[in-house]
Structures are given as structure tokens and as C-alpha cells.
Chains A and B, each alone.
Chain A
Amino acid sequence: MGGFEQLIHGFGVAVTGYHVLLMLVGVLLGILVGVLPGLGAPNGVTLLLPLTFSMQPVSAIILLASMYWGALFGGSTTSILFNIPGEPSSVATTFDGYPMAQKGRATEALSYAFLSAGFGALVGVLVITMLSGYVADFALRFSSPEYFAVYILAFASFVGLSGASPFKTIVSIALGLAFAAVGMDSVSGSLRLTFGFSELLRGISFLVAVIGLFGIGELLLTMEEGIKFEGVAARVTLSGTLKALMNMPRYWIALLRSSLIGVWMGITPGGPTAASFMSYGLAKRFSRRRAGFGQGEPEGVVSPETADHAAGSSAMLPMLTLGIPGSATAAVMMGGLMIWGLTPGPTLFTEQSDFVWGLIASMYICNIVAVVLVLATVPAFAAILRIPFAIIGPIIVAVCVIGAYTVANATFDLSLMLLFGVAGYVLKKLDYPIAPLVLAMVLGDKTEDAFRQSMILSKGSLAIFWSNPLVATLMMLAIVLAAWPLLTAGRRLFAAPSHAPTSSAP
């Protein structure tokens, strides 16, 4: 029966006073970064990562993962109360959450959001518990060519599924790979792409890139919009929460459908943002209550929230079992794993079972803790948002600068962070997807190593990527996914030759 035996063992690792304290701290910090504009889950986890270098890996990952869950919850709070999504993945929650709050049903909206989010997360963790053992066993059969094929598949699915211009996705991935190649080459020892800058010898840290792209870039976008928090009064009453809890079973179809969407999008690198939009879209099309959507329909809150959190938690499955993160935040955590000296992938399950199952067990506890904590602290965090942005904004900048400095104690990284910040601002304005860039930076060296090792195995023949059914299937899937935009464009051209498609991005 799946991994339930190991799970019991995992609870033994996770339930210590120290770890529960870390979970509380992590969730609270997570809610804070989720609530604050300009600070999101990927950036928050990145800022905290350097502080965990001296911790035990299992304690460190519990802290970072708790922060991730907290951030997902925090993002929904601002969506509902202020109509401002704290996270990209909670944009879809504003559609019905804010109208509900405006009608004086803020407590209910928040309760629906948090309870369904908790439900989605638990489904995601259950899936991880049941499947991870099998996936890891299967992946143990992988050698370099299969790994290379899996990495290519991950990149290809971004191109095929992201909805952005395929050229922009490809450029985003290739830029990430190029940044990853900067510095000492692990195989030959040559210093690549340093252009004479001694600061570039140790490479470009993806942590600095994330702080720039997601932190400074996001702040610049926030400033451009001229943000104003004019929210609905936040007070969570017990009766409102209970009412929402009693009504939850009515939405079982939405909960189930959204969980499935979320788990699927989390395991494939679609990510929580795509999951929440897709779930909202499907609910709007198929729900019996679709007439009320957009005017404060609880199902319009339940659907995106469930999918968001199901995707967020199940994104850990491919990260742990294959070494392929399913979201930008998971990519950062995987980078952390490598910094702590662990090798993400199937061997984790055999060699570091305390780490893996401790983390999985903590995900159960943490998501329940998070639902209670977030309901209890909504008024406090809503009050933080009433502090003027003229104070909060610069303090967030200061936190980003400190975070970028702590990565390697180098002032050069601060300039890099600014560069990435401006780049992030422009790229986001032009709808370039940013997550593939981060993923490629984390996976870059591993992709190149897998490629080189395959070539050594095959003595330079590319035929090795078609040499057995497994690797050939993976490669075939990757090619189909990468060619997907071409296929759909071609179909549209033939179906409606009279008017050319004007927009490729939704």
C-alpha cells in the first residue's frame, strides 16, 4: 500500500518540538511574503535559503516547504480582501472572492478559500505518499540518456503548454541554460562565458536571479500600476467559518475536479498559476451555478484555490523522485537540496529516507496548521497592508538586497540582482514566461552533464536517445509537446483561412 509505512516513520521525524516550531515560523513568514506585493513564494523561499545552510537538511526543507504553503495561503487573503493577488496563482481567486467580500461575506470567502486550499493540498500530499515510491523505483532504472530525455521533456512541456509565444518560452529556457553555463565547467575545468570578469568565475547564482526577477521586477511592476490598498474590513468570525465548513460538501464536484486538475498541473511543469486559471475556467463552463460566476459565487473561490494548492504540493513529487521541479518555487527548493549536498532524484528515497518522509509527513501537519493559523491571523496581516506602500516597498527592497548579499557575501551579486530586476520587469511586461528561465538555470548543469555522459556512452552517436523503448518514448513525447504550438497554429490556419490569427497568447 503505497508509502504509508514509511509515512509513519516520517511522522516520527517531523513531529518534534523543534520541527513544529519551524513549521509555525515558516507558515507565518510564508503568509507574510504571500500578503506583501513584490514578495512571493519563489522569492521568499530564496531569501530564506541562505539562512538554512547551517541547518540539518530535513529541518531546512521543512522550514522552506512550510513557507511555501504559507505563501500560497497569504496570496489568497489579499485577492479576497483587496482585489490584489499577492501571488500570480491567486489571480483567479479575485474573480469571485472580492465580489463576495464586497457583499459583506468576507469571512465566508476567506473560509471557503482556506478550507478548499487545505483540501487541495491534502489531496496533493496523498498522491505524493501513494505514488512517490513507485515513481522513484521506476526512475532508478534511468541512466544518463533517460535523464537527458526527461529534462528535454520538462522544457518541451513549457513550450507546448505555457500559452505564451513559443519563441519567448524557448528564449527564456535558453537564457537560463546560458546563465547556468557561466563559470567553471564541471567536466573540463574550463572557465566559460566569464568574459574576463573574475566575479563571474563562480557562476551566476540562480538565487540572485530569482531575487531580481521575482522581487525587484515584481516591485517595479507594482509601482508602475500605482498600487492602492482599498480593502474590505477583515474580521473572521467563528460562525462565518463554521457556516462555510458546513457548506463545503455541497461543492464536492468542484473540489474533486479542481484537485485532479491541480495534481496533474503540479506533476507536469504547468504549475499552480496555470492550474488555478484552468480550474476556474472549467468550473465556469460546467458548473450548475455558472450564472453567478464573477458576482461572488463561492464555487468560483473553491475551484481555483483547490487547484492552486493541489498543484503547489504535488509539484514536490517530480522534484523529489526525478529531480525535476514542477514550479518555480520547487526549483528554488531543489537548488537548496543541491546546496545542502543532497542529490534530488530517486536515490533520495533509498539513501535519505528520513529526509524524504520527514518532509512528506510535515506536509500533512503543516497544511492543517496553516489553515488554522491563516484563519486566526487574517486581521493582523490585513493590518500590515494598511501600512503605506511608501514604507513597505523600500523595506522589501532592503530585504531583497540583504537576501542577494547573503547568497555568497559578494557585492557584485547586488548589481546582478538589479540587472535581473530590470530584466524581470521588462520580460513580464512583454509576457515572457519567467518560470522556465529559473527551471533552466537550476537544471542547466545537470542537463549538460546528462548529455555529455550519454555521448561518452554512445561514442558520439545521437542514436542513443532512441536506443530503447523508454528513452525513445520520452523523446517522442518531448518532440510532440515542443511542436504543439506549430500544430495548433497550422490547424487554425487551415480551419479559418479568411482571417489570420492575431494573438497567440491568451
Chain B
Amino acid sequence: MTADDRPLVSRRTLELATALIIFAIGTAVLFGALEYKIGWDDGGPQPGYFPFYVGLVIMGGALGIAVQALVHGDWRMTASITAEQAKRVGTFFVPVFGFVALCNIVGLYVAMALYLLFTMRLQGGYGWVHSITVAFGTAVAFFMMFEFLFGQPLLKGPVEAWLGLQ
């Protein structure tokens, strides 16, 4: 077993953590429903009625999952994510996160081009020429498709304004 194969999180830990989050969501739904009346009036169930019970079911289900995870002996030792896998998922997800954050500032097309450039140049190991061509080529292709062909304009930012493309 190399260092990278070592389990980072066991199956049981991940099961319990997920059940906890689901339980919290259930609680939130329950309290959200309590903002409205959860009983009955002349028009049948009041607005909070349905979400209230859905919240209860979520909480109950999460408890059931947690108990199953605790009873399940094998899962304590089974790896759910190894360090190597976590690294791979992380290096993929962090740029995606950056992409979405950038969309709010520079618009969708520019953010897309920068994201593709970043992943190709720094993660894919392609040369500058190759990376720039693919990144900006893709963004321009999507721009043409959505602005002209489909007539469904996407989010634009300062760069498009500067180029007079708004």
C-alpha cells in the first residue's frame, strides 16, 4: 500500500456524515414549515402541513441510515475515498468552482475561456498556443451559437461591453 492508496475517509464515516447533513436538511424543512400553520382549516391542509411531514420523514430516514451504517461491520474498514482519489476530485472541482465564481464578475464567455485555458495549460500540460486556441475558440463558438443561432443571449460582462458586443 503506497501513501496515495491510504484511505482518507472510511465508508462508515462518510455514511454517518451524510446522514447528519440529511438530518439537518430535514430539521430545516421542519422549521421552515412551522413558519406557516401546519394544521387544517376549511380549505383542507394548511400550507405548512405537507412540508412538515416531509421534513419528519427526512429526519426519520436519516436516523435509519445512520443506524444501518453503525450496524454494518464491514464499512468501518472499507475506504470510501483514498488520498489519491481525493486529490484527483479536488484538482478537478476547484477550477470548476473558480469558473462559477468568475461568471458573476466577467460573464459566462470570458470565464469559460479562462477556465479552459487554466485547465489545459496548467493541468493538461498543453502548450500556450494549443491552449489559447482551444480555450478562446470554444468560447467564440459558444458565443456564436447562443447569441445568433439560438437567439438566447447568455450572461455577458465588461469585456463584451468593451468590445461593443452587448
Are B119 and A390 interface neighbours, CB within 8 A? Answer: yes
Contacts of A219 in B (CB 8 A): 92
Question: Distance in Å from the Cβ of A195 to the closest Cβ of chain B?
Answer: 6
Within 8 A of B (CB), among A345-403: 388, 390-391, 393-395, 397-398, 401-402
Contacts of B116 in A (CB 8 A): 394-395, 398
Are A171 and B62 interface neighbours, CB within 8 A? Answer: yes
Question: How distant is the Cα of A185 from the Cα of B96 in the complex, in angstroms?
Answer: 34
Question: How distant is the Cα of A7 from the Cα of B72 in the complex, in angstroms?
Answer: 54
Decide yes or no whether A415 CB sits under 8 A from chain B.
Answer: yes
Contact with B along A153-168 (1 / 0, CB 8 A): 0000000000001011
Are A171 and B54 interface neighbours, CB within 8 A? Answer: no
Decide yes or no whether B128 CB sits under 8 A from chain A.
Answer: no
Give chain A's interface secondary structure class.
helix
User: A460 contacts which of B15, B40, B152 (Cβ < 8 Å)?
Assistant: B40
Question: How distant is the Cα of A188 from the Cα of B142 in the complex, in angstroms?
Answer: 42
| Number of interchain pairs (Cβ within 8 Å) | 170
Decide yes or no whether A455 CB sits under 8 A from chain B.
Answer: yes
Contacts of A401 in B (CB 8 A): 99-100, 103, 108, 112
Decide yes or no whether A484 CB sits under 8 A from chain B.
Answer: no
Contact-size category for B = 35 or more
Within 8 A of A (CB), among B117-149: 119-120, 123-126, 134, 138, 142, 146
With A391-B134, A411-B104 known to touch, is A402 a contact of B54 (CB < 8 Å)?
Answer: no
With A187-B47, A405-B155 known to touch, is A398 a contact of B61 (CB < 8 Å)?
Answer: no
Among A394, A401, A422, chain B packs the most CB atoms within 10 A around the CB of A394
Give chain B's interface secondary structure class.
helix
Question: How distant is the Cα of A187 from the Cα of B15 in the complex, in angstroms?
Answer: 37
Question: How distant is the Cα of A336 from the Cα of B110 in the complex, in angstroms?
Answer: 30
Decide yes or no whether A175 CB sits under 8 A from chain B.
Answer: yes
Within 8 A of B (CB), among A397-439: 397-398, 401-402, 405-406, 409, 411, 414-415, 417-418, 421-422, 425-427, 429-430
23 contacts between A and B (CB under 8 A): A51-B152, A168-B65, A178-B58, A181-B29, A187-B47, A188-B47, A192-B35, A192-B47, A216-B96, A219-B92, A224-B85, A226-B85, A226-B88, A394-B115, A394-B119, A405-B108, A415-B100, A422-B93, A451-B45, A451-B50, A453-B44, A502-B72, A503-B72
| Chain B residues with a Cβ under 8 A of chain A | 11, 14-15, 18, 22, 25-26, 28-29, 32-33, 35-36, 40, 43-48, 50-51, 54-55, 57-58, 61-62, 64-65, 68, 72-74, 80-81, 85, 88-89, 92-93, 95-97, 99-100, 103-104, 108, 112, 115-116, 119-120, 123-126, 134, 138, 142, 146, 150-152, 154-155
